[in-house]
């Protein structure tokens, strides 16, 4: 009987833990949204720490621009080299630019930027907040009547969400540039022709859907990192576990949410 019941009990426990975690994450996002509203629109509320926000935007976003640009530049180059021989066989080699523009703008741009930012910023946020929990700095803030959500979580969520959108725009440009340079050097396509095909193929809705994904991805990265960082237990080992879980869970969540977005946009005809 125990052999039969053990998998069922484990499944129920895992499902309950999952929904509890999702509830905690939703509660954290709700608290952060309320903190943002009070900071920006409530005259009697505590003001948003702009210096802290700028510092987080610089740490999370500005410093990640070189690596995001390099990765997407390489992806654009790889796509052009992989697709050109196949399309040439069908007499459609000039469509390389169209495919790269749409693929990077709608899908690869926001997703790759989010994955890079997960390793660059998400793990850092989780480790930073986890270390503060271990060293009891969070309790010290609460003892001084300072909300950890307003002081620590809100700037990180705002900074990551805003900078994710900005980085996505830069990444889209880098991906197109990588494809253009490769096509010019190895496939004989002029930059003018490549740009013309790219702008003809890429519609406004393609660009907007990519930016919507980027904003949601930024919110997801920062919220998961903050939730796992603030939930650290077990000292220094717990910080390492939280950092690892942040990277793994965030990547899984990003791909799952991306699939959801793609399905919704497909049925809406976007």
Structural domain span for residue 134: 10-268
Place 145 in a pLDDT band, splitting at 50, 70 and 90: confident
43: its two tokens: 């005259």
Residue 190 lies in a domain: yes
- Cα separation of 50 and 155, whole Å? 8
pTM, 2 dp = 0.87
Residue 1 lies in a domain: no
- Per residue in 225-251, pLDDT tens? 998 888 888 777 888 888 888 899 999
- Going by C-alpha positions, the residue among 199, 198, 205, 202 that lies closest to residue 96 is 198
- Per residue in 32-67, pLDDT tens? 888 778 777 666 556 667 778 888 888 888 888 899
Residue with tokens 């999370």: 60
- Cα separation of 16 and 26, whole Å? 15
Residue 2 lies in a domain: no
Residue 192 lies in a domain: yes
In the chain, which ranges are continuous DSSP H helix? Answer: 2-41, 50-60, 65-89, 96-103, 109-117, 123-134, 137-143, 148, 154-182, 191-201, 204-230, 235-268
Residue 200 lies in a domain: yes
The end-to-end CA distance of the chain, in Å, is 52
DSSP state of 45: S
- How many domains, in total, are found in the chain? 1
- Per residue in 64-115, pLDDT tens? 889 999 999 999 999 888 888 888 777 777 788 888 888 888 888 899 999 9
Residue 35 lies in a domain: yes
41: its two tokens: 């629109």
Residue 4 lies in a domain: no
Residue 29 lies in a domain: yes
192: its two tokens: 């003018």
197 contacts 100 by C-beta, under 8 angstroms: no
DSSP state of 234: S
């Amino acid at each position: 009987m125990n052999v039969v019941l053990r998998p069922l009990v484990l499944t129920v426990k895992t499902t309950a833990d999952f929904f509890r975690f999702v509830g905690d994450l939703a509660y954290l996002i709700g608290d952060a949204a309320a903190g943002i509203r009070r900071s920006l629109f409530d005259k009697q509320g505590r003001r948003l720490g702009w210096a802290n926000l700028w510092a987080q935007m610089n740490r999370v976003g500005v410093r990640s621009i070189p690596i995001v640009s390099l990765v997407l530049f390489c992806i654009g180059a790889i796509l052009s080299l992989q697709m050109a021989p196949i399309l040439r066989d069908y007499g459609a080699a000039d469509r390389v630019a169209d495919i790269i523009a749409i693929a990077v703008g709608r899908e690869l741009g926001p997703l790759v930027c989010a994955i890079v930012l997960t390793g660059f910023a998400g793990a850092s946020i989780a480790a930073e907040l986890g270390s503060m929990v271990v060293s009891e700095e969070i309790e010290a803030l609460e003892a001084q009547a300072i909300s950890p959500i307003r002081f620590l979580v809100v700037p990180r969520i705002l900074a990551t969400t805003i900078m994710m959108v900005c980085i996505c725009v830069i990444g889209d440009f880098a991906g197109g540039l990588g494809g253009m340079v490769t096509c010019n050097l190895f496939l004989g396509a002029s930059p003018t022709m490549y740009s013309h095909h790219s702008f003809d193929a890429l519609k406004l809705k393609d660009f907007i859907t990519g930016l919507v994904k980027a904003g949601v991805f930024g919110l997801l990265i920062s919220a998961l990192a903050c939730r796992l960082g603030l939930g650290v237990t077990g000292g220094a080992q717990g910080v390492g576990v939280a950092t690892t879980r942040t990277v793994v869970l965030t990547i899984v969540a990003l791909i799952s949410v991306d699939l959801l977005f793609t399905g919704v946009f497909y049925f809406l005809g976007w």
